[in-house]
Amino acid sequence: MLNQSNLSDKWKLRNKEELWTSFTEDNREAFSVLFLRCYERLFRYGMHFASNEDTVKDGIQKLFFRLWKKRSKLTCPQSVDGYLYVSLRRILLRQKERQQSRQERNIAFMEEELDHIFSMEELIIFKEERKKRQELFLKALQQLTPRQKEALLLRVDSGMSNGEISKIMEISDKRVRNLIYEATKRLKKEISEQTGKIKEE
């Protein structure tokens, strides 16, 4: 298995832009160092868009496979981190859309089949129970909005500036500031409420 100890110190000391330039010139070792250096943060970021670890790992592998395949046509981006985050985000969101599309087709098929299997009364009860489960699930999700989580993750985990985050999320700097402020405020509120409940118990 590839790890940092297998790679020469020469490449470990290079910054990401230098590694990028070198791998586009067919240097496999520079490519490996870039992959290892970025993997953990990309994985944590990717888990924001997918609940399955294997899906995120596959997405990262797909991203770097594409980079190596197209290396001769690539130019060094202004921000290597930003480029990788945007690319992984697109890969995972496309995959999520395809999965949702398949699920919707499966649900439509099942509901059509249920019409033939159950009586109308039984079908209504089935759909109502499913709706209740969905409502309970949504109420249980006492956490940040997806956009709040994404902005906060990019700031805290990756140390990106508002400008870099705005490019990745395709929103304004002001919106980024608001998202981070709202996320921080909501986190404090949640922690305070949960702490109060624990004390009461």
Question: Mean pLDDT across the chain, nearest whole number?
Answer: 75
Tokens in use for 11? 């490449």
Is residue 195 predicted with pLDDT exceeding 70?
no
User: Is 194 or 48 the better-scoring residue by pLDDT?
Assistant: 48
Q: Which segments of the chain does DSSP mark as H helices, in order? A: 9-12, 16-23, 28-46, 53-69, 80-117, 120-140, 146-156, 162-169, 173-200
- 103-127 as b/e, with b when 16 or more CB fall inside 10 Å? eeeeeeeeeeeeeeeeeeeeeeeee
- Pair 7, 29: CB distance under 8 Å: yes
Task: Give the percent of the chain with pLDDT over 70.
Answer: 65
When pLDDT is cut at 50, 70 and 90, the band that residue 78 belongs to is confident
Q: What is the pLDDT of residue 6?
A: 53
Tell me the mean pLDDT in the region 117-123: 50
Percent over 90 (pLDDT), the chain = 28
pLDDT range class, residue 97, cuts 50, 70, 90:
confident
Using CB atoms within 10 A of its CB, is residue 31 exposed (0-12), middle (13-18) or buried (19+)?
Answer: buried
**Residues 22, 14: contact at Cβ < 8 Å?**
yes
**Across 21-30, 133-142, 147-156, which has the greatest mean pLDDT?**
21-30
Q: What integer pLDDT is reported at residue 43 of this predicted model?
A: 94
Residue 39 has pLDDT above 50, yes or no: yes
Angle between helical axes of 53-69 and 80-117 (0-180°, round to 10):
130
Tokens (6 digits) for 39: 């993997």
Smallest CA-to-CA distance from 155 within 20, 11, 34, 41 is with: 41
Query: What domains does the chain contain, in order, with CATH numbers?
Result: 4-140 (1.10.1740.10), 146-200 (1.10.10)
pLDDT tens column, 101-116: 555 554 554 445 444 4
> What was the pLDDT predicted at 99?
66
pLDDT at 121 over 90: no
Please tell me the distance from the alpha carbon of residue 149 to that of residue 143, in angstroms, as a whole number.
9
In the prediction, which pLDDT does 188 show? 67
